[in-house]
Structure 1
Amino acid sequence: MVQRTDLSPGRAEIRDLSPDMGLDVLASWFASSPDGIAVIDADRIVRAANQTFAREMHHPLPEIVGRPADQVIVAWPERMADIFRRVRETGQPVSGGAYPFVFRDQPQRGTTCWESTVSPILAPDGSFRGWLFVQREVTEREQAEAERNRLLAQLERRAAEAEAVFRALPDIFFRLAADGTILDYRAGTATDLYLPPEQFLNRRMQEVLPPPLGDRFVRALQQTLSERAVVTLEYPLHVAGRDQVYEARFAPLGKDEAIALIRNITERKQAEAERERLLKAERHARELAEAALRSRDEFLAIAAHELKTPITSLRGYAELIIRRMEQGRISDPLEVRRALETIDRQADRLAGLVNQLLDISQLDQGTLRLNRQMADVVDIVRRVVATVQAGTTRHTLTLHAPASLSAYVDPARLEQVLYNLVDNAIRYSPQGGPVEIDVSLPDQNTVRIAVRDHGAGIPPEQRPQLFTRFFKAGVRRPAGGLGLGLYLGQRIVALHGGTITAEFPEDGGSRFVVTLPRALAQASGGESAP
């Protein structure tokens, strides 16, 4: 329904507002418009309004018509009065724009938003007759616009963040078509690119990468598109004059495209390799330390036993003689002699053990020095054979040697080495048997001494440890010794510039071969021998 009010004396029909329009058309538009419409006269009195306007103002239509506009329009700020003034002065429509409003009687609606346009109503002669006020609620539109602006701002922030991240990352970016065509190629820093973009764009990977690598890229691209999953590929590539390692990560982008991020991981791989090397070195050092601790514990147990045996014997015979002397029971000089000889032997044995420990200490500190001179090697070997043979009746020692053979050696140290080798031959042949000692001259500058036994030999699994400290061959150790003889022998021979090796004949037993230079020679193994 439209409340019709006359705007001029004697007329009360709405048709007077627009004589060029038919009354029915104007009335239909006025009544059905979704906008609130009010006709206000020059005195700012509402003369006509439609139901939409009344509903928006929260008043019945009869209560609106005839009232001052500033009492009817719910949002009548100072700006609205200014708009009415400008329309009257200029004769032109003025849009009030969107403005917020809160209904006092409907606070639950919250802040609403409205938009209004005020147009002048002019008489045929151009004189001002009033205002046409059109208003609509644009809350939803403004909310949608605000949400759109918020989303756009968020999108811009995300894009800026992505761009900042991209520029900060040391990655090269490829956007690829399903057939491998490079659609985009860039990096955070232009200097990170293999080649200028124009040499890559719109070309297939198979064309710009080495054939094997191009094929791997294509397979990775096909896999990421078919499985819709990230595919990682590592590969070496010769770039900038050196071999480098790269990691490529492929990810699907839409249905027919994918992206590939390429990162140089050469330094990471080198760090991983260095870490693995250090871990292996640490494990090796730990194993060596553990082995050293085991050797120390074993040595202490052996040394305690070996040192205790002669000391016990010395003390026992000494106490025996003292008691008998106190009791006046010593009448047989031979008995005293035998006891003193036993004491003497055990003292020699104890001295030998202590000397071995001193030798080890001097070798470790690099203070062991040789007293080298021209000496008859055959004579030294002959003394050793005679000494050892005097202590055994179950073994037959045979010496094969020329009448004499001189060499520049330390006689005492060489005798120490050879005595240990021959003594070992006896020890490890507990059932007796022959022991052959050969002295020969392989060439005019070399002396060769071989000691061969026919005993139990050395188990194959123990041979690598043969010249290590505290080693004793066999499961059951023969009595006596610290297990230092072969270790000391090898070190002393090395100081002479020679070598000592072990051979294991097929018919059993062992053969130890000492090779020495006849003249003064540089010590092997990094040791010096003045």
Structure 2
Amino acid sequence: MPVGVAINDLNLNYLYINPTLAQINGVSVENTMHKTPRAILPTIGEQVEAAMRQVFELGKPVLNKEITGQTPATESPKTWLVHYYPLFVEGKIVGVGTVVIDITKRKLVEETLKKSESFLSTIFNSIPQAIFWKDREGIYLGCNETFAKTVGLENSQQIIGKTDFDLPWPHREAEAYRQDDKEVMESGRGKRHIIEPLKKADGGRLWIDTTKVPLVDSRGAVYGVLGIYDDITERKHTEDDVRNSQQMLQNVLDDFPGVVFWKDQNSVYLGCNKAFATAAGLSDPKEIVGKTDYDLPWAGTEADSYRRDDKEVISSGAAKIGIIETQFQADGRIAWFDTSKVPLISGEGNIIGVLGTSHDITDRKHGEEQLRQTLNELASIFRALPDLYFRMKADGTILDYKAGHLADLYVAPKYFLNKKMQAVLPTEAANIFAKALDDIAKGQEQATIEYSLATAEGTKRWESRLLPIEGEQVIAFVRDITERKKGQEMQDKLTRELKSKNEELETILYIASHDLRSALVNIQGFSFELSDSLKMITADCLGLEPQSKAAIELRSNIPESLNFIIGSVSKIDSILNGLLRLSRLGRQRISLQNLDMDQLMSHVLKSLEYKIREVDASIEIAPLPWCRGDHSLLDQVFSNIIDNAVKYRSPSRRLIINIEGRIENEHCVYSIADNGQGIKPEFVEKIFEAFHRLDPGQSAGEGLGLSIVRRIVQLHQGKVWVKAIPNEGSTFYVSLPKAN
């Protein structure tokens, strides 16, 4: 895209104007020199001069100034994007530099695409590029609206004074961006094609192709960095030092992330920028001079096409914009480019060649191809899925549908397309659907409904999920859930039966345990009576021969048998006590209340104080969050777990128990960690089973403690589990509802 450049003195007289701007103004270079804008531009000269005076008053550039009007060269109004830069000599403003770009066509495109997300927000080109610039400390000095939107700012002014660490991306990415900035500023050289991730303000992530170049002041010192990422068009940040316009333009061309080239009337290259030289396999842009497309890597592929376009532009005098074409690169790959060519005009207004600019759109072309493939895949998925899909207006009028099989539809398409869903469905289902549409219209993000429809195969149950989409439309995914509902009903029935059986089993267990215990008391009582009687008989038979059979029976075998009976009775009694506790838990009503767990844990440790002191254990307890539960039952839970830690301590080290708690969502998770014997992996789940003991010979008990713990926690709608390492220790976790 041609760029007009001019320099005016403090009296606003033109000291320099390039041919492009002279052509835009419709006044030759000779007739422009030493005149003011108002003298040569009757309709827009006043706007131009006002902007120049603003530069003198502010002492800084006036950028992105849009001017609409006519010049002697135009028959109808056009729009130009103009940048004004103050020119300094020894710290004093001596004039103003102007850069002018014709954006008329881009403005027309913006008008036609104003209802869609426009990527024409920059003033340099018609492709959405994000541009930003910073000082040497990494502090943002400015950005364009595309960049501002990406980072979640309302406008580009809000970026001033911020750093990468104030923006949405993670700290490690901000560090990487800052490192790239330092590398560019310290080396004084641009860094191109930095492929890196970027996190947007809305949480989405992008991969961006970034180019960074140093910002240089009038003394040649680097004072910051200019960055451009994504699909780059003709947009450059102008250096403060604009006194030498030719050097400024050359810097813009060399640092431009796209490619720029110009040829004579015979399509012989006169020059190019570094990017074009690289693509052509040249080490320096100067090497392009005198070559033709037949001397470059694309000689046998695209050279003829390029030259035809050159000839058309030169012969017609009209620009050719948006040429989508391939290019065989020096590295052997095929790249896609979006190219624009305009006539190259001499100072006398004669066409002397062609100027071309293009940017690499290979990624975009690949993305378009992937999008087409994705759309085809989605179409196939819709055909394969059992769901029906309907697209409707907000009032329920059906615009489109997708169905794997037409037989799945309630009625044929001709009976529902362009009709309201409420008019197609029976009254009851229609009312349900109408309410869901009303909920969506009121801002609800999703509505899920169920309804019944009578069909020739019988009554069917359907589920519809409605979601709003752009354009005040709604999509509905409809699924036949008849079999699922039948399954749910069967599952509910089985659950009720299982609950009944469990209650019946608990009752039987309670009654059986109670009755067995009554019989056991008799056995135990008569065993003690037999023992007392045996002692009396033994005392009366002191005269028996010691080795006689009767003496042996009285003094050895019978007492031993009675001891076995009494021991077994005690064992059975212990088991029955545990079973009774389990059965009572099944019928017990729990009293829920907000519990101060620091207080409850203090009570637990107080009740175990003798055992803890006896083994010289160390208890470390952190502040615990409040939970909701039954005080008495939870006292049992934590008493049992801590008591087990004491029982199964390691003999080789002092026992240390750590008790902590934290809140996770709607639950409190308490952990009791010890450095005891630990548990082998194969026994981690079994320890919660009834009558399971890791080492029956090590300590007394019936093996029901942890079964009772799990049952109590389940009654609280909680969860208990353990993590353990053999010979290192165990950590029991108890999850309970947090306090209201």
The verdict on a shared fold, with TM-score over 0.5 as the criterion, is no
So what's the TM-score if we normalise by structure 2? 0.27
So what's the TM-score if we normalise by structure 1? 0.37
Structure with bigger helix share is: 1
